[in-house]
Amino acid sequence: MAAPGAALRPLSRTVLIASPAPSTRALSVTPRRLRQSLLNRQHPSLTSASRPSLAPRTQIRHSSYHSPEPSPNTPNARKKVTMHTLRNLYKKGEPIAMITAHDFPSSRAADESGMDMVLVGDSLGMVAMGLENTTEVIMEEMLLHCRSVARGAKHAFIIGDLPMGSYEISPEQAVASSLRFIKEGHVHGVKIEGGEELGPTIKRITQAGIPVVGHIGLTPQRQNALGGFRVQGKTCTSATQLLLDALALQEAGAFMLVCEAMPPEVAALITSKLKVPTIGIGAGNGCSGQVLVQVDMTGNFPPGRFIPKFVKKYADVWSEATRGMIQYREEVKSRAFPSPEYTYPISKEELARFEKTVDEMYQK
């Protein structure tokens, strides 16, 4: 199949026709010859110089390849979420709703659902790219997905996840990577995983004018050092360190913190000691908001796949999608699809003229 919008080059084909002579002769049928034959039939009295041109005309293309943007004047269109919006939600005590997205359709769905924030998380490496873990995701892949998400989410505040290897070497490296996320990925801020050791790095990023979301608790990029995907803060020492991490990141300039996989009581206490909002994922409802991976919470995965304890399945996209595709395959095999209502009509008169033209072409 040709790529959307690709120009189709004229193709000629050779047809063997019967001839009174003992041998057969080849007739080359080209688009030019077809046009000429049609003109001869429609305008027999005109010379070649005076016949009307059959140059292609500009037409409106009705195609599923185009994804039109919603009109800014759409009724009930909500205002764009900004840092000011998020601060007001936090001050009012209204929970902040965040969800992940990894491409245009998933970000449109998140935006249309009224999400305050959309996170382009490096979890996309596992749920969208089929990688074993998030440590394999590279910068260019994150930027590609960020751009796709930015095209779909026109109202939500978008955060991009700095991948492993893009910020650990030095604060300068982190600033350079963050600037690429803003300029090339078109996100509004970045998220960075780690504790108080990242204070200087976050400070430099925020000094560059880039909003930063910190991430403490279970930090998947450091799963090897943590001994796997383990709950954090289950001892007094561990919980105290999480509080120290949170305070250090807040002091460095992070405007928000993700708290992952920790007892709800620990997350609630940390939240109460901060002056910035916390977003929980497996950390209870005492945080200032929540985030889930969209693929997980919509049930867009095959049966039997492991999902974390904190994931609530709100839909069953996988079953519905496979049901539809199975029905489609069956209708293709039986030629039930496409039925007439899914095709484009031509008048009987024009069809008859076309058939006659073709017959004449191949009888010459």
24-39: pLDDT as tens digits: 444 555 666 666 666 6
Q: Where do we find the tokens 């991976």?
A: 293
**Over the stretch 145-188, which tens digit does the pLDDT of each residue have?**
999 999 999 999 999 999 999 999 999 999 999 999 999 999 99
Active site residues: 260
Higher pLDDT, 363 or 282: 282
pLDDT-derived band at 77, boundaries 50, 70, 90: confident
Q: Is 268 or 13 the better-scoring residue by pLDDT?
A: 268
Better pLDDT: 78 or 299: 299
Helix axes 139-152, 171-183, angle to 10 degrees: 40
Q: Which residue has the higher pLDDT, 88 or 45?
A: 88
Q: Identify the pLDDT of residue 19.
A: 43
Q: Identify the pLDDT of residue 42.
A: 59
Q: Is residue 196's pLDDT more than 90? A: yes
Q: How far apart are the first and last CA of the chain?
A: 32
Q: What is the mean pLDDT of residues 197-221?
A: 95
Average the pLDDT over 287-295 and give the result: 98
Residues 6+ apart with CB under 8 A from 244: 195, 196
What whole-number distance in Å separates Cα of residue 273 and Cα of residue 242?
Answer: 12
For residues 98-127, give the mean pLDDT. Answer: 96
Q: What is the pLDDT of residue 70?
A: 53
CB 96 within 8 Å of CB 117: yes
The CATH superfamily holding the domain 83-315 is: Phosphoenolpyruvate-binding domains (3.20.20.60)
For residue 14, is pLDDT > 60?
no
Percent of the chain with pLDDT over 70: 77
335: pLDDT confidence band, cut at 50, 70 and 90? very high
**pLDDT value of residue 78:** 86
> What pTM did the predictor assign?
0.80
Q: Which residues contact 85 (CB under 8 A, 6 or more apart)?
A: 79, 116, 157
Contact predicate 296/127, CB 8 Å: yes
pLDDT digits (tens, 9 = 90+) for 258-274: 999 999 999 999 999 99
Average pLDDT on 326-346 reads: 97
Is residue 1 predicted with pLDDT exceeding 60? Answer: no
Task: List the alpha helices (DSSP H) in 255-301.
Answer: 264-272, 294-297
pLDDT level of residue 220 (50, 70, 90 thresholds): confident
pLDDT at 32: 65
In this structure, what are the phi and psi dihedrals at residue 260, rounded to the nearest 5 degrees? -115, 135
